[in-house]
Structure 1
Amino acid sequence: MKKILASYVLWLIAISAYAQYDLVIVGGTPGGIMTAIAAARQGKTSVILERTTHIGGLPANGLGATDIATRGATTGLFSEFITRVKQYYISKYGADSKQVKDCSDGFHFEPSVAEQILEQMLAEQKGKITVRKMRQFDVLDKNILMENDQIKKIYIFNRESQQREEYTGKVFVDATYEGDLGAAAKVPFRLGREGKDEFNEPGAGIVYKYWGGTEGEGSTFQGDNAVQSYNYRLCLTNNPANRVEVKKPLQYNREEYISLIEDVWTGRHTGAHMQQVTAAMLEENRKYIASGKPSKIPGDVWGIAKITNMVTLPNAKTDANNQHMAFISTDLPEENWPWPTSAWAWRDQYAQRLRNYIQGLIWFAQNDKALPEHFRKAAKEWGFAKDEYTDNDNFPRQVYVREGRRFEGLYFFTAKDATEVAPGQRPPLHASSVTASHYALDSHAVRKREPNRIHLDGFLSYPSQVYTVPYGVMVPKTVDNLILPVPVSGSHIGFSTLRMEPCWMALGQAAGVAASLAIDRNQKVRNIAIAELQKVLIEQKATLIYFQDVQPDHADFPMVQYMALRGYLPEWQAKLTDAADEITLAAWEKLSGIKIQAQAGTSRKDVLTKLYQQLK
């Protein structure tokens, strides 16, 4: 009987593996998850093929401090996610609890909570979304069947059964951080850094820059093949009841970390404060530390924060990222360059190497006797959170792949798309926008420490403003039924701001709706009606153009979004209650081709509403 039951289960799995889906999504990242949810709400079926045993990508693997510079710039399904995060902490701990305060309105969360909420969001779409874990896609010609510029089917390796599976769909979605499916479909892509001569972008090419300061010697701005560094986003805690000691890895090389010794004793770092720090000050600091006190160099930090950037999460945990002001931290530059185009065997080896390196770095900071005793003691207050990643020795399961392949789509996003066209004004407004977003132009290092440099090559941040993302960044020029909401089209600097999870979630939502429209209309994904896509997204409270004074819960949000996409509201505020002046009325008449009859003092809202009713 047991053999019959086992055979039946295997038969069911085999049948499901060969099922037809509306959408086949490679990658259980938040971008892929939101694609499936958005498509399900349009009545479409999806299968998500995730290589690991857990869905959720980086938010479920330590990225608990949401990277977004302007809250409210990106909404839609992303807003649903953070609202659920906040409600989780309210329901479990109470509205006035420290956990609710530390969740920062849902923007800060524990990895396990992120995974739980994303699983719940998927589970609500009963019968529409199938999730297959431990499914690996390899970039081999034999694993993709294409006919007439369309993907017909793909073949996946089931890491549990060791069998090859076939998946057929109407639209395929690459939601991987690496861009593996797009590469298999032969979509052109870029790797490395463009030089400043190509797009005249700030920070392009080889750059050495004080963190928060100016560019320095060695900056040539020439392009190269360098890929920004990866790390693991650690979940650390200083709560003794939930703290696991960081142990020395079996593969440990002390030589990798010894440069940290002088950095700690002198207080040297990579921040802009160093422009005013003299050699005499560094030597004086050495004596000060030797007396049992922490560093007094401006901008320097002490203890574990010297090697990890710490952001508070609920329940005494932190999102511990690479320390931006350190010459040596949890990033491991240079060694990751092959990752985007390598096979999973190589990637797995690098992932283990990176884990060993990071654990070794923390152990060194906490135990090496060449470091000040009070530094080691301060560092040792922190350890891995016992209740996170319980099936992986409390260590994140997924490498933070900050940048993989960048495909060349219908639109190529560069720094100019994210920076103001004039002081105080917006970046260029894209009429085909599918989301607004905002983060700095931000890249981590591409090379390890070099002698006499003020920082690591390529570690930089430049300001941006809330921008719009055109549909074309995730649509290839040739493949008719492929959408790329995660490995999007852009330069190294342009991609450096798009690569944040809120933006990827929003692009996933747009991808799900776009795929549904393409299926319903029997169209190529690049030929769908953008206005129809935008209409659905606005109904779903997605912000396509950000306004400081009209958020998605505003009664006039749909009207403002519609008119803004057509050029009527180019400024940061809609100013609906203000009177419409003559210059504005003339501009709106010219745009609409409609004669506007408005009495003195008529509000902008009244005029816009009438135009909206006629135009839509």
Structure 2
Amino acid sequence: MQTVKTFIRIFNILLLIILLSTKQSNAQNSTLKSADQKEDFINSTHFDLVIVGGNPGGIMAAIAAARMGKSSVILERTEHIGGLPANGLGATDIATRGATTGLFKEFTQNVKQYYVNKYGKDSEQVKLCSDGYHFEPSVAEVVFGKMLMEFKEKITILKMRQFDAEPKNVKIQNNKIVKILVTNRNNSSKETYEGKVFIDATYEGDLSAAANVPFRVGREGKNEFNEVGAGRVYKYWDGPEGEGTTNQADNAIQAYNYRLCLTDNPSNRLMVTRPASYNAKEYQSLVDDVWSGRHTGAEMQFVTQKMQDENRRRLLRGDTTTIPGDPWGIAKITNRVFLPNQKTDANNQHLAFISTDLPEENWPWPTLSWVWRDKFAERLKNYTLGLIYFAQNNSALPASFRKAASEWGLAKDEYVDNENFPRQVYVREGRRMEGLYFFTAQDATPVISGKRPPLHSSSVTSSHYALDSHAVRKREEGKIHLDGFISYPSDVYTVPYEVMISKEVDNLIFPVPLSGSHIGFSTLRMEPCWMALGQAAGIASAIAIEEHLKVRNIDRVKLQDDLLNQGATLIYFKDVVPSDPDFIMVQKMGLLGYLPNWNANLNDFINAETIQLWESVSGKKLEYLQGKTLRKDLLSEIYKGLN
């Protein structure tokens, strides 16, 4: 009996020891788990610059910083770098060639050289590349890759790295980002990256939002900034505004689509097949648009019912449309720009009520997770393929129309790892961050007719594209166009450094999700401008690191000097190009206000009006000889005195 009692006592002691040990172990594990939840930032990798987004803005930031001796890592979510130019945007959107230079110009020159090297300088491919402004998606990716490889010792490229826009993924100390946490999509592991400066090159503004930088989505009303095209607007394409226009603000986001690479070359053409989720009802309105010749262009103001009825009769006979401005075949649903090797950049058709844009359904994209975004991307892909299939096969459409539409298909040699379909959605507008300067339509339109838009002395690039937005709503009965599908003229403008600088975070630059209104952002959102701003972001980062400064406090003149040394254009002149010996002088004096007109006219003689302006700007009495002193000579004297 005593033996049994002794055994029980020993057993209880052992059990107690085990329980205490387990409790202590659980407590340690709980402590470790809490630490991980509080700070998952372990095994960090350190770089001078941490760049989220491998699109052209992020790529150029890395290259510009590398030229300044700084290291960077590009964290790209997909398996391919290059952003939209490597995903179908092969027709470069810039209204004035020469307005934006620097690394963007190097990119176009490299594109042209690629075609010269491969096909010969007198080839059709070189002609169609339009001096490097038009290119195949695969060529864009190759060119970006070669530009990056030049600095392979300084630039690390990591693909399939996803940053989620949650505050827990950013560690901030004393108003500076210290580290960020990303997901390796190949194995679902977490990775930490430390940097001295962080660049948000995402189309959505995910990094900046996670760092709690204020942002805007949707459209401002006209009452806020008095901008042309602000708020709710219905406008004929290239024509006047129409009924329903209120200019009221809302939360609407302009439509996204895929920039398709199509070809009519039978040997390289993959015909679109019926998608699994095909729903012909989605595209039914196209049928009457084709038969009637209805479209959204300004010509429709003068199209009568009689003209539309006659168009139906002609189509029944097998003819094509006779309605002025009415596109035909695949052009009815895609706006094509021709590229080398018998391919096209096929964008949404701005003359159409139904095209490859998918308005309304993308509104949540800027602020929702990648889980939602990926689902929408698949929905958009199926919608797009379904639209093409409908146009080529639906029996309710005229046979002549279907035949014309069927001449086109996907290019077999593009996106070979993605069913020949673009890998990225064209995110035209995500979050717009609120920075030190807020860019509006007024910054891109002349103060006085024929003159420049407002001059920004802290300019880091000049740029030029229309005030341009795609639709925010689907078709509405009786409206002349889709709500928000607009374009208004602008002129070559200057972009201040402050549009990509936070008021709160000391080491963050956002050269892609810029600070501006919906209308202001609509002209900045072009890849040439994003490349130029990425270049400026890379240089600014290097200066901030070298001089131990907040990015908002760097010397703007030093930034501009370094940009000019890298070939950038800060203010555009029609008669002075980067290769001219006086280019840098003209750039700097132009930003100081000495040359307010579009031409520098360096070889003209000084006149009284010029003297009055220059004496006012310089605050000095200037000496010159009437009819003998050239503008260039006097300007050079003033310039030397400033340096």
TM-score, length of structure 1 as denominator length:
0.97
AA at the equivalent of 2:316: A
Residues in 2 aligned to 1:563 and 1:438: alpha-carbon distance in whole angstroms: 21
Q: Equivalent residue of 1:154, what SS? A: strand
Distance 2:520 2:166 in 1: 29
> Could you tell me which of 613, 616, 634 is aligned with 1:590?
616
| Residue of 471, 492, 495 corresponding to 1:469 | 495
**Partner in structure 2 of residue 505 of structure 1:** 531
Q: Which amino acid aligns with 2:189?
A: Q
Q: How does 1:182-581 map to 2 (within 5 A)?
A: 182-581=208-607
1:8 counterpart residue number: none
Is the CA contact (8 Å cut-off) linking 2:167 and 2:212 kept in structure 1?
no
SS at match of 1:99: helix
- Distance of 2:253 and 2:328 partners within structure 1: 30
Shift of 1:17: 7.0
In structure 2, C-alpha distance between the alignment counterparts of 1:515 and 1:274, rounded to whole Å: 51
CA distance in 1, matches of 2:480, 2:342: 34
Number of the residue aligned with 1:9: none
Matched residue, 1:5? none
Pick closer, same or farther for the CA change 1:378–1:25 going to 2, 3 Å: same
Secondary structure in 1 matching 2:604: coil
Give the match's secondary structure for 2:344: strand
* Distance (Å, rounded) in 2 between the aligned partners of 1:540 and 1:335: 42
Match of 2:185 in 1: 159
CA distance in 1, matches of 2:205, 2:157: 19
CA offsets 1:414-434 (integer angstroms, 9 cap, x no match):
000000111100100100000
Distance 1:487 1:63 in 2: 18
Structure 2 residue runs of 5 or longer lacking an equivalent are 1-40
Partner of 1:10: none
Q: Secondary structure at the match of 2:157?
A: strand
CA distance in 2, matches of 1:301, 1:174: 39
Classify 1:542/1:16 alpha carbon distance in 2 versus 1 (closer, same or farther; 3 Å). farther
Question: How much does 1:532 deviate?
Answer: 0.5
SS at match of 1:92: helix
Q: Does 1:51 align with 2:51?
A: no
SS of the equivalent of 1:396 reads: coil
Q: Which one of the candidate residues 600, 605, 609 is aligned to 2:632?
A: 605
Distance 1:17 1:552, change over 3 A: farther
- The alpha-carbon deviation at position 279 of structure 1 amounts to 1.2
Residues of 2 paired with 1:142 and 1:199: CA distance?
35
Aligned residue type for 2:97: R
Measured in 2, the distance between the counterparts of 1:532 and 1:485 equals 19
Other-structure match for 1:12 = none
Which position in structure 2 is the counterpart of 1:7? none
Distance of 2:404 and 2:463 partners within structure 1: 38
Whole-angstrom distance in 2 between the partners of 1:292 and 1:311: 27
Match of 1:603, as an amino acid? Answer: L
Task: Give the CA deviation at 1:594.
Answer: 3.0
> Separation in 2 of the partners of 1:554 and 1:594?
28
For the Cα contact (< 8 Å) 2:163–2:182, is it kept in 1? yes
Query: C-alpha distance in 1, partners of 2:604/2:156?
Result: 50
Query: What per-residue deviation string (whole Å, max 9, x for no partner) do you get for residues 483-530 of structure 1?
Result: 000000000000000000000000000000000000011000000000
Structure-2 separation of matches of 1:161 and 1:529: 43
**Cα distance per residue 1:418-457 (max 9 Å; x no partner):** 0011110010010000000000000000000010000000
**TM-score relative to the length of structure 2:** 0.93
User: Highest Rg: 1 or 2?
Assistant: 2
Letter in 2 for 1:607: L
| Cα deviation, residue 326, structure 1 | 0.2
Which residue identity lines up with residue 319 of structure 2 in the other structure? K
- How far apart are 1:16 and its partner, in Å? 12
Name the amino acid aligned to 1:520: E
Cα distance in structure 1, aligned partners of 2:440 and 2:287: 39
Q: Find the aligned partners of 1:487 and 1:455 in 2 and give their Cα distance.
A: 28
| Distance in 1 separating the partners of 2:101 and 2:561 | 15
Shift of 1:126: 2.4
Contact 2:160 / 2:186 at 8 angstroms: preserved in 1?
yes
Could you tell me how far 1:142 is from its partner in structure 2?
A: 1.7
1:145 pairs with one of 166, 171, 177: 171
For 1:158, give the aligned amino acid.
N
Deviation sequence 1:115-154 (CA, Å, 0-9, x none): 0000010010021000000000001222110011110100
CA deviation map 1:341-360 (0-9, x unaligned)? 00000000000000000000
Q: In structure 2, what is the Cα distance between the partners aligned to 1:604 and 1:97? A: 43
Amino acid at match of 1:609: S
Paired residue total: 603
Q: Distance in 2 between matches of 1:583 and 1:134?
A: 59
Stretches of 4+ aligned residues off by more than 4 angstroms:
none
Cα RMSD (Å) = 1.1
- The 2-side partners of 1:204 and 1:17 are apart by 48
The one of 174, 179, 189 aligned to 2:200: 174
Gaps of 5+ in 1: 1-14
Deviations 1:211-251 (A, max 9, x none): 00000000000000000000000000000011011111100
